[in-house]
Amino acid sequence: MARHLDAKCRLCRREGEKLFLKGEKCFTDKCAVERRSYAPGQHGQKSGQRMSDYGKQLREKQKLRRTYGIMEGQFRRTYAAASRSKGVTGERLLQILECRLDTIVYRMGFGASRTEARQIVRHNSILVNGKRVNIPSFQVKPGDAIEVTERSKAQLRIKAASEAAESRGIPEWLEVDSKGLKGKLKALPARSDLPSNINESLVIELYSK
């Protein structure tokens, strides 16, 4: 399976903002974006360069793709699915990305980062409606129940991630029992529930050319 090999902190610095790829480190002063708020590389500190419209669209697409940790081909297929479905394409794109099983596991606090949540799913540690699912891209539907398997509930990393997430707050469109390490997708997230730093219209413009 293809995967990102670049250092995660470099990806955040390249996009100029936190993508929360390193779990708890992103919430401390050790975060690379806090320490070096410029792009990586020898030309990273140069300023005053004007970016073209295409450049802005490309950077927004790359930021979205890197945030959710998916490769280009998979992102294109996700966009195609969003464009075929009913509703606003940009909002549907974000909803499909947010309803991936690895993202739901991350949002529920069972993984400190999306990468860790993906690993937890891959290691057969998650049940969907009582059945084991190990496909990170599996689409969770409203009403589906998500639970950590009994064997995996003793893992310290899952407990620590759950405690940290509970202290920061769980999205309103999710119902989570942090002690029982289980939860439910109550409804599809509305656009107002999703990250405001994402400008999905730029991604739509890029793929509409």
**Alpha carbon distance 38, 33 (integer Å):** 8
pLDDT digits (tens, 9 = 90+) for 106-156: 999 999 888 899 999 999 999 999 999 999 999 999 999 999 999 999 999
What burial class does residue 58 get, using C-beta atoms within 10 Å of its C-beta: 0-12 exposed, 13-18 middle, 19+ buried?
middle
Torsion of CA 173, 178, 184, 187, to 10 degrees: 0
How many angstroms separate the Cα of 89 from the Cα of each of 94, 97, 191, 208? 9, 12, 11, 11
Domains of the chain: 8-42+50-97+195-207 (1.10.1050.10), 100-185 (3.10.290.10)
Report whether 2 contacts 16 (CB < 8 A). no
Q: What does residue 103 show for φ and ψ, rounded to 5 degrees?
A: -70, -40
Asked whether the whole model's pTM tops 0.75, one would answer yes
- Helices (H) then strands (E): counts for the chain: 9, 5
pLDDT digits (tens, 9 = 90+) for 41-84: 544 555 556 778 888 899 899 888 888 989 899 999 999 999 99
